[in-house]
Amino acid sequence: MTVWRAPRVTGPVTATVELPGSKSITNRALILAALADGPSTVRGVLRSRDTDLMLGALSALGVGIEPDTPGATTVRITPAPLRGADVFCGLAGTVLRFLPPVAAFASGPVRFDADEQARLRPQSTILGALRVLGVDVAGDALPFTVNGRGTAPGGAVTIDASASSQFVSGLLLSAPRFDNGVTVHHVGKPVPSTPHIDMTVDMLTTAGVSVDASGADTWRVAPGPITAVDWVVEPDLSNAAAFLAAAAATGGSISVPNWPAITTQPGAQITDVLRDMGCEVTSADGLLTVTGPDRLSPIGIDLHDIGELTPTIAALAALADGTSVLSGIAHLRGHETDRLTALATEINRLGGRVTETDDGLRIESATLHGGRWLSYADHRMATAGALIGLVTDDVDVDDIETTAKTLPDFPAMWQRMIAG
């Protein structure tokens, strides 16, 4: 692991930043292409640790991937009968939650394991649901095995998805392949990050799958084929957040090309947050531009649906003039790390004043100083440290390599942004 001195600037940062494809869309498109009724081409594929783990797992299961070479952003996916395999998930929640239902249709055991830190992430929900749907699963946590039999009956299942929307999306993506389809009903606290479920439903519908999402906390997917679609992956708007926030933190101006006019990515909502903190946001011909204010305003906001943006917003709140309250994000305690405790610890280590609440963070203005910023093997924690380091002397970000989870070369991209 590398300790990386976050680059410090003394004036506004002005740049145009081109972003790679969305991880969320990439991994959903790869699953649907692998289960489709014919070959598909996926363009704009993000090449990062999470997506490479998905590609590697699908290849191990017997899916044809061309070219099967590192860095290829256009890939041809050819479905094939699935076979038993060993699947390594790393820290990728989309691999950990999306592939076990796919493994039900393999002919043989599919053994799952992951990074040690991933073993702390909730998994019993998806495995228990698979058992209800007629799938043979050995184990309730990593490592576990799905004993695929080529088919599975499916039916109705009730789950508590309050820890992650990925439990719902994971079941829905493979649902058409079950003999009776799948009906997922959620009970418990509200499902977080529901825009990601909307993304899943939208992509299933594009692939010709019948999805009924009209009932409260209930999704019904009819059995049937998944149509082969040539997917084009949008830029990753969640990854855009840290770069756009650099304009907010420095009073600069950052532009991102190819910003979609209509999207299911929850990361797009970063523009509303930045407006509320005093930024100007404009869009013309697909070029989105954020211009930062002289002084950042504090914010009070429920981040339940956009929890992935919390590290970026918390970093900005620590730089704002006043007290910010971030709520609706208790579920972040079960992400790559306990993000609430991690953010409070690291901002306070640099002289901040952050306290945890039952479902979020209270962040008061303070004068920050340099020091070590730990990443906890969490890519969004690392980029939050880089953001604070833009305007704070001597911030050393631990394990900057973890950003490769969703951004293949974040340090170089960050330096290019600073250079304009």
Annotated binding site for 3-phosphoshikimate: 23-24, 28, 164-166, 193, 308, 335
How far apart, in whole angstroms, are the C-alpha atoms of residue 96 and residue 250?
A: 37
Tokens describing residue 191: 């499902």
Q: Are 287 and 257 in contact (CB under 8 A)?
A: yes
Q: Which residues of 173-200 are buried (b: 16+ CB within 10 A; e: fewer)?
A: bbbbbbeebbbbbbeeeebbbbbbbbbb
> Which residue is associated with the tokens 């506004």?
12
d(CA 316, CA 298): 9
Strand partners, 361: 326, 356
Q: List the binding residues.
A: 23-24, 28, 93, 121, 164-166, 193, 308, 335, 339, 380, 405
- Residue for token digits 């799905």? 146
Identify whether 308 is a catalytic site residue. Answer: yes
DSSP state of 235: B
Angle at which helix 310-319 crosses helix 339-349, to 10 degrees, equals 30
Instruction: Indicate which residue of 308, 336, 356, 364 is catalytic.
Output: 308
Angstrom distance (rounded) from CA 301 to CA 325: 7
Q: In angstroms, rounded to a whole number, what is the distance separating the alpha carbons of residues 50 and 46?
A: 9
Please tell me the distance from the alpha carbon of residue 275 to that of residue 280, in angstroms, as a whole number. 6
> Residue 112's closest CA among 100, 128, 124, 126?
100
Q: Is the peptide bond before 223 cis (omega within 30 degrees of 0)?
A: no
- Residues catalogued as catalytic: 308
